[in-house]
């Protein structure tokens, strides 16, 4: 990758099948939703993540970049509801951290890179980070 700061994201590049579960907004906490995610380089300067449900209908898109002057990562998020958000991002070892602290509410998410795939947990806080609720969990299995 031309942007050397993004080389740490190379283990994410590929096609994945995901399972979403423990999501408070689904029918029940036991409901599992399957889908697909493609993670690829965009112009050797960004990492783009596109997810779709099992019917291949687009769900969301993330674009991760690194600002050399600010020395920080950011992730731009957009989903089929028309929601657009900007997250800060960092990583330690094989764990990526995303967070935002906006007026509507705070969000945070981790993605762990494991030998058998990826695991993510997303949480939200409606009281500026005093208490957190789990939004969802996802596991990702590499397809290629």
Q: Where are the domains of the chain?
A: 4-142
Q: Could you tell me the two tokens for 117?
A: 């795939």
pLDDT (tens digit, 9 = 90+) per residue, 82-111?
Answer: 999 999 999 888 999 999 999 999 999 999
The sign of the dihedral angle between the CA atoms of 127, 73, 121, 49 is: positive
pLDDT band at 58 (very low <50, low <70, confident <90, very high): confident
Nearest CA-CA partner of 16 in 35, 41, 33, 43: 35
**In which band, very low, low, confident or very high, does the pLDDT at 27 lie, cut at 50, 70 and 90?**
confident
Query: What predicted TM-score, i.e. pTM, was given to this entire model?
Result: 0.88
Indicate the burial class of 133 (C-beta count within 10 angstroms; 0-12, 13-18, 19 or more).
Answer: exposed
pLDDT value for 4: 81
Q: How far is CA 82 from the centre of its chain?
A: 17
Q: What are phi and psi of 47, to 5 degrees?
A: -115, 130
Assigned superfamily of 4-142: Calycin beta-barrel core domain (2.40.128.20)
What's the alpha-carbon Rg for the chain, to the nearest Å? 15
């Amino acid at each position: 990758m031309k942007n050397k700061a993004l080389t740490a994201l190379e283990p994410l590049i590929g096609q994945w099948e995901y399972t979403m579960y423990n999501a408070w907004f689904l029918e029940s906490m036991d409901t599992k939703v399957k889908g697909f995610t493609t993670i690829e380089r965009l112009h050797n300067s960004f990492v783009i993540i596109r997810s779709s449900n099992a019917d291949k209908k687009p769900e969301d898109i993330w674009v991760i970049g690194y600002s050399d002057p600010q020395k920080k990562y950011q992730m731009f998020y957009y989903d089929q509801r028309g929601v657009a958000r900007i997250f800060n991002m960092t990583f330690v070892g094989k764990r990526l951290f995303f967070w935002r602290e906006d007026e509507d509410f705070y969000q945070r998410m981790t993605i762990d890179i494991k030998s058998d795939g990826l695991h993510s947990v997303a949480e939200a806080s409606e009281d500026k980070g005093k208490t957190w609720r789990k939004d969802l969990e996802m596991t990702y299995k590499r397809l290629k």
